[in-house]
Amino acid sequence: MSDFERDDFDIEITPELLANFSTDEPYSAYETDEKTIEQIREERYRRQEQRKLQKRKQLRSNIMSYFMPAMALVLLVSTVCYMNSLQFGLVVSYNDEQLGVVENAAVLEEAASIIDSRIINKSLDSLENEPQYKVAVVTNQSEFRDSTELSRQIIEKDRTLEDELCGVFVDGDFIGAVSSEEEAKAVLDGLLEGKKKEAEKLGEVKSVDFNSSVTAEVGLYAKDSVVDKSELKSRLTNNVDISYRTVVLEDQNVKIKYKTEYKVDASKPSGFEKVTQKGQTGEGVATNETVYIDGEKISSEHIKVVATKKPVNEIITVSSDSKHAQTDIDTVKDTDTDTKKAEKATDSDKAEKTSDTDSGKDSAAEEKKEEKKNDSPFIWPTSGYVTGYFGYEGEHLHKGMDIGAGEGTPVVASAAGTVVDVVFDYSTEGLGCYVTIDHGNGYQTCYAQCSDIYVAVGQTVEQGETIAAVGSTGDSTGPHLHFRIIENGEFIDPAIFLY
């Protein structure tokens, strides 16, 4: 097919164009013109193709300009999703050794806090070096270390710290550390034992303790603070001023004052008063609890007196109108119980209670006692009347029951048992002369303010057996028995068992 037959070209035949052609010219001229036309037509075709190509490029450019933002967004979303699918952590190293991976910096900070809290001697730096870390991708979350494990690993790698040592402190000052708590205790006990031997020349040593604050604490210490036992003892003995408190039981011979008793003789004339029995001072051994601080006596407290020779009371015989007649012992013994109770109530600003009321109370109490006495393991320890009940008197607890009776009235064991304590104390303080009996099953009874005791420690007694005599020793205002019942170390009301 010739170029003239292409439908793509539309050539317009004009007169000017025909004028160029002449039949007089040879054929070759026509051929030349024909080639020229074809060249024109080729040029036009080439330009048209270039225009089409440019249009296609423009179209592609327009399409890309529309879709580029969307494609960028898709790429961004894809990148974020990928990054979110990854697990990152911190690879921790200490002293150039990799310890493991933690989830975040908070775990590392918490581990540092744990280490700092475990260092007992706070004058030391917390760590030899700072832990190093870098971010890394973690493929398995089980690789993460917690703060406790990380702190343990750091301590193991630290060349300046050692765990589970025992440090000794005096008044807050660090003295040294040994390898175990047992070693520290052995050194401290040795110091106390030495002071105890020094104090034995003063008497029976009850206790020796540090008056200074001396403590032993197990924990994390610097390795260069570790010493052996002998060095620690040397530092405590020679380099530190430690104060000691020693309690010694010291015995001393004492004189026991006698008491004065007044005896009424109604046959004597008015105003009669005469010493019919001279008083004799007794003798005994007083035990004092003395406290020493660094060898200096600080206090001494009397705790008991054991009589080696009992005092003999002075007896003064008086007429019935004497001002001392109210204290007559024989009168106390022989006077009707109900009448004396009424008198005691009067002395206690309880004049409203008549003797009839008290008698009725005693009668009811006696009936109740008879009803329960077969069920109770205890019996009344003496005959007489109740002058003081168990319970609080203001802020003071009266730990027993006071039973008024004449001096010398027999005191019997309230229940069978074994004597565990006997004290002869003729001073005017405390319980005076008393005896304690253990009955088993957690029960004990105490009989105090006695004038005499007839049993000894370790002796077995039966219920109702005479063990002592009513008196007025110790902190007492008149002859009576102070009776206590103790259950498992606690004082309880004797009336629960006696009424």
Integer Cα distance of 221 and 309 in angstroms: 63
For residue 292, the model assigns a pLDDT of 93
Residue 287 pLDDT exceeds 70: yes
Mean pLDDT of all residues in 391-419:
89
Edge-to-edge strands, sheet with 314-318 = 260-264, 314-318, 273-277
For residue 407, the model assigns a pLDDT of 87
Same domain (yes/no): 408, 478: yes
Q: Give the β-pairing of 273-277 and 314-318.
A: antiparallel
| Mean pLDDT of the chain, nearest integer | 75
Reported as type and span, the H/E element at residue 245 is strand 244-256
Same domain (yes/no): 467, 432: yes
In a domain, 238, yes or no: yes
For residue 347, the model assigns a pLDDT of 41
In a domain, 31, yes or no: yes
Q: 222 near 155, Cβ under 8 Å?
A: no
Mean pLDDT of all residues in 343-365:
41
Same domain (yes/no): 468, 380: yes
Domain span at 129? 88-159
Integer Cα distance of 225 and 235 in angstroms: 13
In a domain, 364, yes or no: no
The CATH number covering residue 311 comes to: 2.20.230.10
Helix/strand/coil percent split, the chain, to 5: 35, 35, 30
Residue 101 pLDDT exceeds 70: yes
Same domain (yes/no): 471, 432: yes
Q: Which of 124, 159, 194 is the last residue of a domain?
A: 159
End-to-end alpha-carbon separation of the chain, Å?
149
For residue 20, the model assigns a pLDDT of 52
Integer Cα distance of 307 and 295 in angstroms: 30
Same domain (yes/no): 380, 494: yes
pLDDT by residue (tens digit) across 459-489? Answer: 899 999 999 999 988 888 889 999 999 998 8
Q: Which of 131, 159, 187 is the last residue of a domain?
A: 159
Q: 174 near 217, Cβ under 8 Å?
A: no
Lookup: tokens for 65: 């300009």
Q: Which of 280, 296, 318 is the last residue of a domain?
A: 318
In a domain, 351, yes or no: no
Mean pLDDT of all residues in 327-352:
38
282 to each of 258, 308, 345, 468, how far by Cα in Å? 7, 8, 35, 19
Give the count of domains, the chain. Answer: 5
Mean pLDDT of all residues in 86-105:
73
Cβ partners under 8 Å of residue 40, min gap 6: none
- Of the spans 226-230, 357-361, 425-429, which averages the highest pLDDT? 226-230
In a domain, 343, yes or no: no
pLDDT by residue (tens digit) across 159-174? Answer: 667 777 898 999 988 8
Same domain (yes/no): 54, 93: no
Compute CA 276 distance to the chain's CA centroid, rounded to the nearest angstrom.
Answer: 64
The backbone region for 37, taken as left when phi is positive above 0, alpha when psi lies in -120 to 50, beta otherwise, is alpha
SS3 state at 297: strand
Same domain (yes/no): 264, 293: yes
From the CB of residue 306, how many other CB atoms can be counted at a distance below 10 Å? Answer: 16
In a domain, 37, yes or no: yes
Q: 482 near 381, Cβ under 8 Å?
A: no
Q: 468 near 365, Cβ under 8 Å?
A: no
Same domain (yes/no): 145, 194: no
For residue 80, the model assigns a pLDDT of 55
Calculate helix-pair angle for 105-118, 147-157, nearest 10 degrees: 60
From the CB of residue 438, how many other CB atoms can be counted at a distance below 10 Å? Answer: 15
87 to each of 70, 189, 274, 459, how far by Cα in Å? 28, 57, 110, 83
Integer Cα distance of 249 and 304 in angstroms: 11
Mean pLDDT of all residues in 189-211:
92
Same domain (yes/no): 393, 483: yes
Same domain (yes/no): 192, 291: no
DSSP code at position 119: B
In a domain, 327, yes or no: no
**Amino acid making up residue 383:** S
Same domain (yes/no): 489, 386: yes
Same domain (yes/no): 220, 258: no
Using the structure block, give the residue that is written with the tokens 């407290």.
Answer: 301
In a domain, 55, yes or no: yes
The CATH number covering residue 405 comes to: 2.70.70.10
